[in-house]
Chains A and B, each alone.
Chain A
Amino acid sequence: MEQNKINLTIDNIPVSVEKGTTILDAAKACGIEIPTLCHLNLKGTCVNNRPASCRMCVVEVAGRRNLAPACATTVMEGMEVRTSSMRVINARKTILELILSNHPHDCLTCGKSGNCELQDLARKLNVKEVPYDGGEVSCYAVDKTVSIVRDMNKCILCRRCETMCNEYQSVGAIGSMNRGFDTTVAPAFGKNLADTDCTYCGQCVAVCPVGALTEVDNTSRLLKDLADPEKIVVVQTAPAVRAALGEEFGYPAGTSVTGKMVAALRQLGFKYVFDTDFAADLTIMEEGSELLGRLGAYLEGDKSVKLPILTSCCPAWVNFFEHQFPDMLNYPSTARSPQQMFGSIAKTYWAEKIGAPREKIVVVSIMPCLAKKFECERDEFKTNGNPDVDYSLSTRELASLIKEANIDFKALQDADFDAPLGESTGAAVIFGATGGVMEAALRTAYELYTGKTLAKVDFTAVRGFEGVREASVNLNGTTVKVAVAYGLANARRLMEDIKAGRSEYHAIEVMACPGGCIGGGGQPLHHGDFDIVKARSKALYGEDAAKPVRKSHENPYIQKLYEEYLGKPLSEKAHALLHTHYFAK
């Protein structure tokens, strides 16, 4: 153990760290934060972007002629590191000034203002002027999709987005193109992002240190709708939003702010504040029944049944398998995502209940996700051109809207969701974390299949932050094997196993983003600190544990919906309103 330790000094502080540690991490261990820009290490995932290309983290190492990049230099015995000598400070400042010399100076109106790592560094390093002019100012057209906006004029070539898209998601919609001054991160062949295999997961946006990658902003559209007295504007909020929104208002990561979020939404002017969690319970009813249906048929000897069944809640994952596995579209569950189930029920069942035509109702969703914006636009989720969910805002957009409306978030009294589409169980709230959908499905599937009551509703084996996890459940003597994955590169491996006939699973849950929706592309920025994302999961599991009802099939409002309207899970009406089909792309 001890011989694996390396002893060195950083700014004269003696440190002892594991062999192989970078200077950056060793410094962090003794409380010294070395500034970084291109570096991104989501510890515990495969994401470790350290091209050492920005040189912001340079440090002085005694006996070494050149300054060393702390992110990519490993510690050595007896090393003497200086992280803030005159030479280091001057070098960092020059580097930053050079980056700024080729960066637009429109900070005041930039979507990233106040949340920009480049802006922060300029302030931190006390940059007051940019002494370098000239050079080439790149001029790229802004590329706008329904989810993501790319403005490569602002790109600083850190390549974090490229790492997320290629290594973490294995999509490769964007990559480095050209060289020298012409270098840019872009789709192949000068295409627009909308013409690529982009899944709109938004992880490129989540890690972009500057304003080069941002989401499509729907806040003005929403304000306009809220001001229209002719419209009934209702909102649904995804589970992961409540676990992260507080961070934008100074709460520590992992604080659940459900009550304040509901109060803020009401104050913004929404007539009804509903919960996507209601639809998550509904998803479990449909998807769980589908799982049991396929499993039952399989056990009775029907070998044509497609197993494993794959979850279909994550819109980036749906885009992924439509593009990458077009010949395997009969594996995923046909159940729509909770967002779309909500929209469908709101504009039929609930519209009838309040006696309003669907055209008058505007369904807005608050999502931790950017792919949800794309999902709203899918033609199959429209009736006569009217979308089930009109549009979606990210958690970040909601936070900026609350600030814009001058709402004192911290001072708000907790409020409750409206009935009936605001009532949910503990099973629904954990949908926002990796493993949560599977756990919710298992709680219901177990009880429906065995007729027994679960002694313990927690399926802890599917929880956690391993990229792929597996568990077995005994259903009346039948062992059901399930797997949970986050990250589309992990999902790809599972899909290839299925294709090759190597998969032993009966059901697989996939979420595209790190840690599930809590690490979604629309969430408050974690700036590379994956512990923030992990903390959010505690908020969700905490809410689950505190709920009086923790199994979807026991949600009384869901039971009522089936009694009054849908009949039973997988009924003809349920199929028409709550299921979908997939398209090879």
Chain B
Amino acid sequence: MENNKISCEALAKVKAICSAHNNDAGELINILHETQNTLGYLPHEVQSLVAECLGVPATRVNGVVSFYAFFTEKPKGKHPISVCLGTACYVRGSEKVLDEVKKVLGIEVGETTPDGRFSLDCLRCVGACGLAPVMTIDGKVYGNVDPKNVKKILESDEYKD
């Protein structure tokens, strides 16, 4: 579905990234990194185009994309949320925070809300263990998060649009 949304402009950018790397198949991971940084995600159409530019089968590109957790085939939300599941946060109840986020937004980890506002991921430690449990939205760190406050945070004006 989202495949139809890829603009010609975006595809041209992908081609430019590939040729900046001399269409070298050995540069596949770097190319995918740059492409995801540019487009936000790696839809099938884009993966196929990368495969075509590099002269490798689409299975090779899709294999790499599906292997590394960093790569995503779905567009991220406007405000990406990360809940820390590192040891300190976990023992301080971050799983409950995560459950609450899932409940409020109605999405699972790795998914994006239908309105495209939020996407949800987990991570391991942001280096703020003193503030555990920790959650980040748009890179902004929320410390000592109480599951009861999650709804309020998500409904704050910052994330309205």
Residues of A within 8 A of B (CB): 166, 171-179, 186-189, 197
Chain B: CB-nearest residue to A175:
B59
Answer whether A178 and B47 are a contact pair too, CB < 8 Å, given A171-B57, A188-B62: no
Would A175 and B44 count as touching, CB distance under 8 A?
A: no
Given contacts A174-B59, A179-B67, A189-B44, 8 further A-B contacts (CB under 8 A): A166-B59, A175-B59, A177-B59, A177-B63, A177-B66, A188-B47, A188-B57, A189-B58
Would B61 and A188 count as touching, CB distance under 8 A?
A: yes
Residues of B within 8 A of A (CB): 44, 47-48, 51, 56-63, 66-67
What are 10 pairs between A and B in contact, CB < 8 Å?
A166-B60, A172-B58, A179-B66, A186-B59, A188-B44, A188-B47, A188-B57, A188-B58, A188-B61, A188-B63
Complex Cα distance, B44 from A188, in Å, reads 9
Complex Cα distance, B56 from A174, in Å, reads 12
Answer whether A172 and B62 are a contact pair too, CB < 8 Å, given A178-B67, A189-B44, A189-B47: no
Chain B: CB-nearest residue to A182:
B66
Closest CB-CB distance, B59 to chain A, in whole Å? 3
Closest CB-CB distance, A471 to chain B, in whole Å? 31
Chain A residue numbers with a CB within 8 Å of B48 are 188
Would B66 and A173 count as touching, CB distance under 8 A?
A: no
Residue from B60, B61, B63 with most neighbouring chain A CB atoms (10 Å) = B63
Would A175 and B60 count as touching, CB distance under 8 A?
A: yes
Complex Cα distance, B63 from A176, in Å, reads 6
Determine which of A172, A177, A186, A197 lies in contact with B56 in the assembled complex, contact meaning CB atoms within 8 Å: A172
Would B57 and A197 count as touching, CB distance under 8 A?
A: yes
Chain A: CB-nearest residue to B68:
A179
Would A175 and B57 count as touching, CB distance under 8 A?
A: yes
Closest CB-CB distance, B133 to chain A, in whole Å? 26
Residue from B48, B58, B60 with most neighbouring chain A CB atoms (10 Å) = B58
Chain B residue numbers with a CB within 8 Å of A166 are 57, 59-60
Complex Cα distance, B62 from A173, in Å, reads 11
Closest CB-CB distance, A488 to chain B, in whole Å? 12
Residue from A166, A188, A197 with most neighbouring chain B CB atoms (10 Å) = A188
Closest CB-CB distance, B34 to chain A, in whole Å? 20
Closest CB-CB distance, A163 to chain B, in whole Å? 13
Chain B residue numbers with a CB within 8 Å of A178 are 66-67
Complex Cα distance, B62 from A186, in Å, reads 10
Complex Cα distance, B6 from A424, in Å, reads 58
Chain B residue numbers with a CB within 8 Å of A177 are 59, 62-63, 66-67
Would B59 and A173 count as touching, CB distance under 8 A?
A: yes
Chain B residue numbers with a CB within 8 Å of A189 are 44, 47, 58, 62
Complex Cα distance, B67 from A188, in Å, reads 12
Closest CB-CB distance, A162 to chain B, in whole Å? 9
Closest CB-CB distance, B51 to chain A, in whole Å? 8
Closest CB-CB distance, B121 to chain A, in whole Å? 16
Chain B residue numbers with a CB within 8 Å of A172 are 56-60
Chain B residue numbers with a CB within 8 Å of A186 are 59
Chain A: CB-nearest residue to B58:
A188
Chain B residue numbers with a CB within 8 Å of A174 are 59
Chain B: CB-nearest residue to A180:
B67
Chain A residue numbers with a CB within 8 Å of B63 are 175-177, 188
Task: Return the 8 tightest CB-CB contacts between A and B, nearest first.
Answer: A172-B57, A175-B59, A188-B62, A188-B58, A188-B59, A175-B63, A178-B66, A189-B44
Would A173 and B57 count as touching, CB distance under 8 A?
A: yes
Chain B residue numbers with a CB within 8 Å of A197 are 57
Complex Cα distance, B48 from A175, in Å, reads 14
Complex Cα distance, B63 from A173, in Å, reads 12
Chain B: CB-nearest residue to A184:
B66
Chain B residue numbers with a CB within 8 Å of A179 are 66-67
Closest CB-CB distance, B62 to chain A, in whole Å? 4
Complex Cα distance, B57 from A173, in Å, reads 7
Would B66 and A187 count as touching, CB distance under 8 A?
A: no
Complex Cα distance, B48 from A179, in Å, reads 20
Chain B: CB-nearest residue to A174:
B59
Would A175 and B62 count as touching, CB distance under 8 A?
A: yes
Complex Cα distance, B152 from A106, in Å, reads 53
Chain A: CB-nearest residue to B69:
A179
Residue from A174, A187, A189 with most neighbouring chain B CB atoms (10 Å) = A189
Chain A residue numbers with a CB within 8 Å of B58 are 172, 188-189
Complex Cα distance, B61 from A175, in Å, reads 10
Closest CB-CB distance, B139 to chain A, in whole Å? 27
Complex Cα distance, B113 from A22, in Å, reads 54
Chain A residue numbers with a CB within 8 Å of B60 are 166, 172, 175
Complex Cα distance, B44 from A176, in Å, reads 16
Chain A: CB-nearest residue to B61:
A188
Complex Cα distance, B62 from A310, in Å, reads 33
Chain B: CB-nearest residue to A186:
B59
Chain A residue numbers with a CB within 8 Å of B67 are 176-179
Chain A residue numbers with a CB within 8 Å of B57 are 166, 171-173, 175, 188, 197
Closest CB-CB distance, B122 to chain A, in whole Å? 15
Complex Cα distance, B60 from A171, in Å, reads 11
Chain A: CB-nearest residue to B62:
A188
